[in-house]
Structures are given as structure tokens and as C-alpha cells.
Structure 1
């Protein structure tokens, strides 16, 4: 019995001394393992106690229990004390933190070039009296083709050009002209809108083509709208987007099922006067497909084509961005290259 009391006294003294000298939580944890762990001194003492006769267990039990509680209590108090000391030290560091200190290699997020350019176009068109219109990217056969005067045997309906869905008559829109049809059906005349958005076509991806691309289209419908209104609007827009008041345009015949007559509008190169790599040394840049809205399109939207007329135009946002910022590969727009994306 006396030997046990002496062991308990020695363990208490040793534990208390080591606890008092502990200055870090890691050191404290090592002490706990050495005494209260599965192979610790107190645990081993309790394990040997289980082999004793019942009478000795009654005498030794309370003493061992008191030892364990004493050590556990001392450990807990020391643990709280060290945590408070650590917290106080960290708080002092915060108080002396220099908020003006330079931190190198700090990277910031930025808007995508699509967003930048769309916002720029929005500012231009709104200043010209247009309103922005948006629509769904999944469309019906009717709104994507039939309402736009594209008959059933037109090549654009072919499986090789259009992403058809498994739901009959549903597809990924091949142009943002679908937004114009919805607007002409739902909104009052006169109507002036521009519609930016994604379009999808089953094309092989290369430096100048992609299966998903951005389009921007414009529409104006009113009485007595003529080709002169279209050309004046196109020239004003192009002069604004390139920041060149002396920019000229030229018109070439073009075919689009939803306009008649159809034209393609080029602008004089804003970067040169004698030819450069942007205009391919022709001094002209192809940009817009346009024309007067076909009477069949107006009639399909419930607009009397004998009273009202209109013009429409469209362009690829990527092509415009590639010209403005001298980008030579359309695939960069959808890449995760921060070197490219953070330039805008």
C-alpha cells in the first residue's frame, strides 16, 4: 500500500513539474501522451491494478481515480492557459500589421472581352435609340427557320449545320435573329432593338471558326423605312465603334433569306490607308450582313408589310473583337489562358 502511495506521489510531482515547464501546445500534448495516453504511466498503473484481488482494488481504486482526475484537471487548465497566450500573441501581431505593405503577385479578376465589347455596343446602340433584347438559346424550328423565310429544303436545316435536340422540332439557335421574331410578335411598332447572344452551328473548330459563337443583330421596323436608313445607321455605328469619323462604307450584293434585298457592308480600314494585315491589303474590311426585312417575315409576325417596312443587320462579335484587338485565333476567347484574358 505504501509503495502505491509513493508511486502516485512521484507521478503527481513529475506530471506537475513537466506541465509547469510546458510553453507550447505541442509540448503539452507530448506530456499528456506520456502520462494519460494508451501506453502512458498512469494508464499502465491502472492496467496493473486490474490484476489485483478485489480487497486491494477497493483500497487502491479511489487513489488511482484521484490521480487520474488530478492530472486531467491540471492538463486542461494548462491547455486553456496556452491557448489564451497564443491568442493574445496573434492579436498583438494583428495590431502591428502594416496594411500599406506591398504584396507582390496580387492578381485581380476582370470582365471577359465578350462582356467589355457587349457593353460598348450597348452604349452605342442605346445612344442611337435602340433597346436591348435577349432570348433563349434553345428554339423551335418555326422561330429559327420558318418565321425567317427559310423553307424546309434550305441547306441551313441540314443536320450538318444545325444542332437538333432529341425533342422533335427543337434545336440550338443558329443565329440571334430568333430574338427579332419574338420582338416583332410581342412589341408595339415602331421597333428598334439590338440583340446580342450565343449561336450554335455544327462547324469544325479552327482559328477562325467555332461551333459556338457570339452574334449581335439589329432591327428597325417602321413606316417608310428604306435602304438609306440602313446605310446611314451602319456607317454611324461603324464610325462609333472604331472611333473614326471619316470611316467610309461600301455595299455589295448578298443573299440572306430573311431580307430582300440583301447586302454585305464593308468599311474602310480604320488602321491604314494603303493596305495592312488586318484588311489583307485591300483597304476594306467585311463586317455586316444586312438588308431590308423580307415582307414574308413581317407578315409571319402579324405586321402588314404593305404599311410597314424595316431593315436588319448582323455581325459576329468575335470577328469584331479580333479586328479591334488584333486577335488571330478565335479559340482564345474560350480558353483558360490568364495571359490572354487579363489583357482586357
Structure 2
């Protein structure tokens, strides 16, 4: 046996020994892949040793080839064994990390509450939708026509002084009531009409305990043949009974430019009369403005401030509390 043959045999045996020891100590799949490439890759240590076989006599090459295959199989076996072991360890660690202890107490999160204003709007709309009304929406920035003129309030009308308005530089304004939604709806739809319009409105009021420059209204409108003030009274009575309970109500003569006759609605609350709504029969001029024939159709309208209802029902002493987002207050509702 030549020295060259003995040398290659020794190198192959050392390669097997070192490889199996290194593979057994590998602590990750990434490290295991590095060892595979180091020992069995195209440029790995086994390939380098086999490259020396070219110097051997032909009769000695089969013996070295057989030894090399044995070494290669031993290293591959070690690699597969260690890979299986490492994958099992990885799976066990993942299962332990993802295991849920169903007996542990959950993380407490306080239950949210509906804001008082949203609660009033939701209750009111639920009542009116149950009476057959459709919810309608409109823009908060309005033209003078929809906010005033179409509602029987021309530029020189003294009723404009009743509502101090926010005018914008482009000639538009921030709506002072949601009645403008009724005009837009009637322009687009033929009678019969039954709509309820909730929304935010704006007036140049001095902010105090009972006034705000931004507040919310809900208005209703019904147009059909033969509607009378009796239908208006019956509708309002049903609505107020659903909101406040079976309490005495009264109607007082009042004035609004877009209704005739007009009335204020009072509710007997905690032993005293409390004004809660305005209402009336739709003025014939308003019907003409939207193309309805007042000789054929009549209608009624009513509206109320959401904040006032919230303050009464929740016994709130200052309207500003509704906009403060103070959790100490909201958690009491």
C-alpha cells in the first residue's frame, strides 16, 4: 500500500470523525446547513480529498472510492439524525411559547358606553322609523336659498334676526337648522313624503350652561293629501310618550316663518312645564317653492334640540359637559 493511499484513508477517517462530532454539537438548523456545505458541498472537504485520487494508481482508486462513500453516508446519516432532533426541539419550543393557559384571568377592558347625544338620536330615529319615516341627510354648509329663502324667509324677513348665522366668505353659510334637508328632499321626491332629518347645526350663540354655537337637531316632515293639525298632534304625542313616558303635554301658539299655524310643545316634567319642541303646518309658500300644489297637499313639520332632550333625560346641568369628553362624566350615563 502506498503512502499516498494510507494518507487519503487517514484523511477520510479524520473527516468522518470530525464531521460526526461537529454535527452532534450543532445547536441550530442554520448551523447544520453550514456543516453540510462544509463537508459535502461541491467545494466541501470531502470533494477536496477525492480530488487527490487522481494521483493514485488505478488499482487503488476503487478502495478509496468505497471508503469515501462510507464516509459520505455516515455524515449524511449524522446530518439527518441531528436535523430531526433540532426540528423536534424547535417544535416543542414553539408549542410551549404558543400554549394558552385558559385558566388565567383575562385582561379587563372597561365596557364602552353610547354617548348621551348618540343615544338620544338613536332612540328618536328608532321611533320615527317605526312610524314609517325615512332618515334623510344633507350638507352642513348650505346656500342662503335652502337655509332661508325656500323656507319662506326672504332676505328682508325679520325672522332672520331669530337666528344669528355663521356666513362664509364664498356667500354660503353654516346651516342654522336641519329644515334645509326637508327642502332638498322635497325637490327630489314627489308626495307622499315622510322624512326625519338629524344633524349638526350652527348659530352664533354665546356659549354658556344652556347654549352652544354647535348643537344637534332632529326635524320631521310629513306631506300628503288631507294631513291636518290633528295628525301633527297625534304624531308628537306618540313620540314624546315613547321618549319620556305618559306625561301631560300642551301646545302653545307660536311663530315660525315656514309653518302656519305654528306651536310650541310643552311637557310636564317633574311638576313644571318644560318647552321641548316647535311644530306647525307647512306654510303653503314652502310647498310652492318645491313645486308641490298647496291646494292638493298639506303637511306638518316639527323639530327639537337633541342636547335639550339629553339634559332633561340624564339630568345634566351644563350643556358643555356633553362636549368635554370627560370620562368621569360619561361613565355616569
Q: Compute the TM-score of the two structures, normalised by the length of structure 2.
A: 0.68
1:166 maps to which residue?
169
- Deviations along 1:217-262, one digit per CA (max 9) or x if unpaired, are 0111111211111111111110111233xx2221111111000111
1:31 maps to which residue?
none
Give 1:343 deviation, angstroms.
Answer: 3.7
Give 1:210 deviation, angstroms.
Answer: 0.3
In 2 relative to 1, CA 99–119 (structure 1 residues): closer, same or farther, beyond 3 Å?
Answer: farther
Q: Which moved more, 1:298-307 or 1:334-343?
A: 334-343
2:118 maps to which residue?
115
CA distance in 1, matches of 2:163, 2:118: 30
Give matches, 1:198-217, under 5 Å: 198-217=200-219
CA distance in 1, matches of 2:94, 2:114: 37
Contact kept? 1:133, 1:193, Cα under 8 Å: yes
CA distance in 1, matches of 2:276, 2:104: 49
CA distance in 1, matches of 2:212, 2:123: 23
2:84 maps to which residue?
none
1:237 maps to which residue?
239
In 2 relative to 1, CA 158–99 (structure 1 residues): closer, same or farther, beyond 3 Å?
Answer: farther
- Deviations along 1:16-59, one digit per CA (max 9) or x if unpaired, are xxxxxxxxxxxxxxxxxxxxxxxxxxxxxxxxxxxxxxxxxxxx
1:124 maps to which residue?
127
CA distance in 1, matches of 2:228, 2:173: 33
Contact kept? 1:203, 1:210, Cα under 8 Å: yes
Give yes or no for the alignment of 1:324 onto 2:313.
yes
1:299 maps to which residue?
288
Partner SS for 2:209: coil
Contact kept? 2:224, 2:298, Cα under 8 Å: yes
CA distance in 2, matches of 1:241, 1:160: 27
Give yes or no for the alignment of 1:149 onto 2:138.
no
In 2 relative to 1, CA 343–91 (structure 1 residues): closer, same or farther, beyond 3 Å?
Answer: farther
Contact kept? 2:163, 2:176, Cα under 8 Å: no
Choose from 82, 95, 99 the match for 2:99: 95
Contact kept? 1:174, 1:199, Cα under 8 Å: yes
1:260 maps to which residue?
260
CA distance in 2, matches of 1:178, 1:86: 68
CA distance in 1, matches of 2:216, 2:92: 56
Choose from 138, 143, 151 the match for 1:140: 143
In 2 relative to 1, CA 160–304 (structure 1 residues): closer, same or farther, beyond 3 Å?
Answer: closer
CA distance in 2, matches of 1:233, 1:178: 21
Pairwise CA RMSD: 2.5
Aligned residues: 247
CA distance in 2, matches of 1:159, 1:120: 29
Contact kept? 1:262, 1:292, Cα under 8 Å: yes
Contact kept? 1:156, 1:162, Cα under 8 Å: no
Give 1:187 deviation, angstroms.
Answer: 1.1
Give 1:153 deviation, angstroms.
Answer: 2.2
Give yes or no for the alignment of 1:226 onto 2:228.
yes
CA distance in 1, matches of 2:284, 2:93: 80
Partner SS for 2:256: coil
2:62 maps to which residue?
none
Q: Compute the TM-score of the two structures, normalised by the length of structure 1.
A: 0.66
Partner SS for 2:298: strand
Give 1:98 deviation, angstroms.
Answer: 4.5
Larger radius of gyration: 2
Structure 2 unmatched runs, 5+:
1-88
